[in-house]
Amino acid sequence: MPSPTVVLITGAGRGIGKALATAYLSLPGHVVIGALRDPKGMQAEQLRSFPVASGSRLLLVGIENKNLLGPKKAIEEVEAAGIDHVDIVIANSAVSVGSGPLEAVDPKVFTESFNINVVSGLVLFQAVHKLLTKSSAPKWVSISSRGGSTAAPLPWYPYAAAYCMSKAAQNWFSQTLHVGYQSLTAFAVHPGFVATDMGIAAAVASGIALPKTSSEESAKNIIHLIGQATRESTSGKFFDVDTREEIPW
C-alpha cells in the first residue's frame, strides 16, 4: 500500500485553512495535519465532524503564531503520532491589522504583522524541515496576497500597509526557499479576494465591494494548483489561483 500524502495546514480552524483541510480530508489516502490555536476548542470539534475519505485521517495540533516554540512542539506531536514525513505544507495563517492611511496607522501593527505573517513561517519551516526532507516530492505553499507584490500597487494598498508589507516579506521568504533547497517545490499564491472574515473586513475598511469568492472555491483552486506544481514549472513563482496568472514579485 502506498504511503498517504501528508498535508500540514496552518490556520485550519477557519476560512481558507478550514476549507483546505476539509477538501483534503474528502480525498482518499491523505493525512491532514491541521494546526490551529486550540486543538480542543469549538473549531477543532467542527473539523473532526467533517467526512473523511477512505485511508484518510485528521490530526490536530496547536500552533499559536505568537509562540515561537509552538511549531517545534507541534511537530514533536506529529512524530509521536507515527507520521514520519510531510509532503505538503500550506502556510496559511495570517493577520491583517491596523488599517488606515499611512499617516495615521500605529507603527506597532507593522511589528505584529511581520512576526505573525513572516517570522512564524520561518519557525514553522525550521520545525518541519526534517520531515519535508523525507518526502519524495516536498512542497511548500505560502498563502500570500497580491498586496505583497511591489510591481503594481493598487489604490487600496495604503489602507492595509502592515499586511501588504508583511506579505512582501513572506514572498521573499518563499523565493528563498526555492533558491536554497533544490529538492523543494516552493511557491506563493494569491488565493483570490475571498469572503472570509479578513477579506470582508478589508473590503469594508478600504471602501470597496465585498468579496464574492467562497473559501471552498478558493481551496479547490489552490489544491488544483498544488497538484500540478513541479519544481520546473511552479517553484520560485507567485500565482493567482483564480486566473492561473503569474504575478510579478
163 is catalytic: yes
Q: Please give the chain's pLDDT, 249 residues, in tens.
A: 678 999 999 999 999 999 999 999 999 999 999 999 999 999 999 999 999 999 999 999 999 888 899 999 999 999 999 999 999 999 998 888 877 778 888 899 999 999 999 999 999 999 999 999 999 999 999 999 998 999 977 776 777 888 899 999 999 999 999 999 999 999 999 998 766 666 666 666 666 676 677 889 999 999 999 999 999 999 999 999 999 999 999
* Candidate list 18, 24, 139, 167, residue with the active-site label: 167
Q: Please give the pLDDT value at position 196.
A: 66
The full DSSP string for 120-153 is HHHHHHHHHHHHHTTSSS-EEEEE--GGG-SSS-
Where does residue 124 rank: exposed (0-12), middle (13-18), buried (19+ CB within 10 A)? buried
* Candidate list 139, 157, 163, 237, residue with the active-site label: 163
| Domain boundary assignment for the chain | 5-240
Distance of CA 208 to the CA centre of its chain: 24
SS3 178: helix
Q: Please give the pLDDT value at position 205.
A: 64
SS3 46: helix
| Full strand arrangement of the beta sheet holding 5-10 | 57-62, 30-36, 5-10, 88-91, 139-143, 185-190, 238-240
Q: What superfamily would CATH give domain 5-240?
A: NAD(P)-binding Rossmann-like Domain (3.40.50.720)
72 is catalytic: no
Closest CA to 91 of 141, 30, 138: 141
Q: Which residues contact 234 (CB under 8 A, 6 or more apart)?
A: 185, 187, 225, 228
- For the record, the C-alpha cell of 122 comes out as 520561518
Q: Please give the pLDDT value at position 208.
A: 66
CB neighbours (10 Å) of residue 67?
Answer: 14
Q: What is the dihedral of CA 163, 169, 172, 176, to 10 degrees?
A: -120
Q: Please give the pLDDT value at position 22.
A: 97
Q: Please give the pLDDT value at position 213.
A: 73
Question: Are the beta carbons of 47 and 58 closer than 8 angstroms?
Answer: yes
Q: Please give the pLDDT value at position 172.
A: 97
Q: Please give the pLDDT value at position 182.
A: 96
| Maximal C-alpha separation, the chain | 60
Q: Please give the pLDDT value at position 102.
A: 82
Q: Distance of CA 230 to CAs 11, 82, 183, 188, 247, Å?
A: 25, 28, 10, 13, 17
Please state whether 100 falls in left (phi above 0), alpha (psi between -120 and 50) or beta.
Answer: left
CB neighbours (10 Å) of residue 72?
Answer: 15
Q: Please give the pLDDT value at position 222.
A: 97
